[in-house]
Amino acid sequence: MEHMDHSTQMRDLGLRVTRGRLAVLEVLDQLPHSSAETVVAKVHEDLPDVSIQSVYNVLNDLTEQGILRRFTPPHSPALYETRVNDNHHHAICTSCGRIEDVECAVGHAPCLTPSDDHGMVIQIADVLYQGICEDCRKSGAA
């Protein structure tokens, strides 16, 4: 998504458009599945005056507003991405940690039906596939 789209998206939600927010979104457009630490480092390359706390606040605020998605793989810090509202899933290599997006398993959201919904209307299924990527299999790292 480009600056204009992110700017419009924030304005539509009643959020101020700031350099810090745009910088965070730009980093995550370029490097999806990034940790807060990675986002801080990349933002500081262009905007060294933006505080670490400000970046964390932006990540939290934009996640709460639905502009960002946060997910936490096992043995990993929370990761962020700008791809939201499409109910995609993730596959992670348990050897090297590589993460790939995986489209909805069947049909449309929630794309999986639980055996017992406990009276809930299920809207989203959040799936994390774990395995060994092709590169790790070939290198024998698995």
User: Where in the sequence is the domain holding 67, given as residue range(s)?
Assistant: 3-80
Instruction: Give the pLDDT score at 23.
Output: 97
Instruction: Give the pLDDT score at 124.
Output: 78
Q: What DSSP designation does 48 have?
A: T
Same domain, residue pair 8 and 70: yes
pLDDT for 105 beyond 70: no
Instruction: Give the pLDDT score at 142.
Output: 61
Task: Identify the residue with better confidence: 105 or 27.
Answer: 27
Same domain, residue pair 93 and 55: no
How far apart are the C-alpha atoms of 39 and 54, rounded to whole Å? 11
The domain that holds 129 is classified in CATH as: 3.30.1490.190
Same domain, residue pair 44 and 24: yes
Same domain, residue pair 57 and 9: yes
Instruction: Say how many domains are in the chain.
Output: 2
Is the CA virtual torsion 132, 124, 78, 30 positive or negative? positive
Which among 32, 52, 80 is the end of a domain?
80
Share of the chain above pLDDT 70, in %: 91
pTM of the full structure: 0.85
Question: And the tokens for 99?
Answer: 């993460």
Same domain, residue pair 54 and 102: no
Same domain, residue pair 64 and 120: no
Same domain, residue pair 57 and 96: no
Is the CA virtual torsion 131, 109, 121, 80 positive or negative? positive
Confidence class of residue 111 from pLDDT cuts 50, 70 and 90? low
Q: Which residues contact 64 (CB under 8 A, 6 or more apart)?
A: none
pLDDT for 31 beyond 60: yes
pLDDT for 104 beyond 90: no
Confidence class of residue 79 from pLDDT cuts 50, 70 and 90? very high
Pairing outcome for strands 128-131 and 89-93: parallel
**3-class DSSP state of 83:** coil
How far apart are the C-alpha atoms of 142 and 26, rounded to whole Å? 33
